Amino acid sequence: MMGRQIAQVFAQHGHEVEGTDEDQQALKTGIDEIANGPYGVNASLSKGKLTPEQAGRALASIKTSSKLDDACRNSDLVIEAAFEDLQLKQNLFQRIESAAPSSAIIASNTSTLSLDKISQKISKRDRALGMHFFNPAQLTKLVEIIRGPATSNETVERGSRIVREIGKTPVVAQDEPGFIANRLGLTLYMEASKLLEDRVASLQDIDTCMKLGYNHPMGPFELADFVGLDTRLRNIESLYKATNDSKWIPPKLLREMVQQGYLGDPARKKASKGGYYEFQQIKR
Ligand SMILES: NC(=O)c1ccc[n+]([C@@H]2O[C@H](COP(=O)([O-])OP(=O)(O)OC[C@H]3O[C@@H](n4cnc5c(N)ncnc54)[C@H](O)[C@@H]3O)[C@@H](O)[C@H]2O)c1
């Protein structure tokens, strides 16, 4: 989900992009979403946000390769956006380091994992950075830049400059669990889940509160469905692992939904049976 969104943003700002995934189907659906998805290039074209030339150029500048080495070979910047799993990301960082030019920045889009740990096994750690985009990256203006203990000032500055060049605002956070945005956003979600579990209010009313009372564009459950419930569960599990703080024990309901294949909005997660609102229907 995030890889394709980030690829599109860079392509629309004049960069050559190589997308890679171990799953061939993900590459195919990724390219299709970039062209025809709800925030894709063709949607921007029909809204007049891109000219036909810009749209054509953006689509032509994204290539895909199933081989990570080929995709990274000529890169100035590699952004890893694989599953939220520490060992997987550590391995990918090692593979990226051996494939990419030594001048390339190696970034992770991790939401919750420690950049220090992700970059532990590479040799030039000064060029490792967190670049945390928000969903949908085509629309959201924020990118958190995560500075690990080994990240150089030059890497932070280069990363921040790139973020500005693609029309977004960087904020810099230290490498602490949840950084800034997820520590705040997931705290809201955990409290919303407690309200639901304690039967203080209904799903709809909790979402409505945050939309009408605080002008949030989506309620906490709508946002979780939008993000993907499997991703949300992995993020909370990883915060719990990192902090050992019981406030991050994943809600039972979330785990149950993911186990039963309710992974969030089916328009965004193709294999999903639905999200909170659909699950509520079958539970009645
Ligand atoms: N979903 C969100 O809203 C969101 C927002 C910000 C950041 N993030 C972060 O972005 C990252 C990706 O999240 P997502 O929701 O896009 O996940 P996703 O499940 O949609 O995509 C992950 C992709 O990683 C691929 N992958 C797994 N192992 C691989 C390997 N060894 N080599 C190559 N590809 C591999 C999978 O095939 C899959 O296509 C996570 O770190 C997540 O925390 C997610």
HSE on the CB side for 80, CA within 13 Å? 31
- pLDDT given for residue 268 in this prediction: 83
Distance in Å, CA 99 to ligand 1 centroid: 20
Residues 144 and 196 in one domain: no
Strands 77-80, 105-108: pairing is: parallel
Task: Among 174, 193, 227, identify where a domain stops.
Answer: 174
Pocket flag, ligand 1, residue 272 (CB < 6 Å): no
Backbone conformation region of residue 39, classed left if phi is above 0, alpha if psi is from -120 to 50, else beta: alpha
Residues 158 and 185 in one domain: no
pTM of the model: 0.91
- pLDDT given for residue 112 in this prediction: 87
CATH number at residue 229: 1.10.1040.10
- pLDDT given for residue 187 in this prediction: 97
pLDDT in tens, 184-206: 999 999 999 999 999 999 999 99
Closest among 125, 143, 126 to 134, alpha carbons compared: 143
For the CA atoms of 158, 164, 169, 173, what is the dihedral angle to 10 degrees? 0
Residues 7 and 119 in one domain: yes
Q: How far apart are CA 228 and CA 101, in angstroms?
A: 34
The DSSP bridge partners found for residue 19 are 64
For the CA atoms of 33, 44, 6, 30, what is the dihedral angle to 10 degrees? 10
Task: Among 174, 200, 220, identify where a domain stops.
Answer: 174
Residues 118 and 252 in one domain: no
Radius of gyration, CA atoms only, the chain = 19
Residue 51 lies in a domain: yes
Burial class (CB in 10 A: 0-12, 13-18, 19+), 128: buried
Closest ligand 1 atom to residue 82 Cα is 24
Distance in Å, CA 205 to ligand 1 centroid: 31
Residue 283 lies in a domain: no
- The number of domains in the chain is 2
Residue 60 lies in a domain: yes
Pocket flag, ligand 1, residue 23 (CB < 6 Å): yes
Distance in Å, CA 198 to ligand 1 centroid: 32
User: What positions carry a catalytic annotation?
Assistant: 111, 132, 144, 182
pLDDT in tens, 22-51: 999 999 999 999 999 999 999 999 999 999
Pocket flag, ligand 1, residue 84 (CB < 6 Å): yes
According to DSSP H, which parts of 166-228 are helical? 181-197, 203-208, 214, 220-227
For the CA atoms of 239, 177, 2, 140, what is the dihedral angle to 10 degrees? 120
Q: What is the DSSP string of 87-126?
A: HHHHHHHHHHHHHS-TT-EEEE--SSS-HHHHTTT-S-GG
Q: How far apart are CA 167 and CA 157, in angstroms?
A: 16
Q: How far apart are CA 163 and CA 143, in angstroms?
A: 7
* Of 8, 83, 87, 132, best ligand 1 pocket probe by most atoms within 8 Å of the beta carbon: 83
Residue 97 lies in a domain: yes
Residue 257 lies in a domain: yes
Instruction: Domain of residue 85: give its range.
Output: 2-174
Residues 223 and 200 in one domain: yes
Q: Which residues of the chain have pLDDT under 50?
A: none
- pLDDT given for residue 282 in this prediction: 84
Residues 80 and 32 in one domain: yes
Residues 253 and 168 in one domain: no
Distance in Å, CA 84 to ligand 1 centroid: 7
Residues 129 and 241 in one domain: no
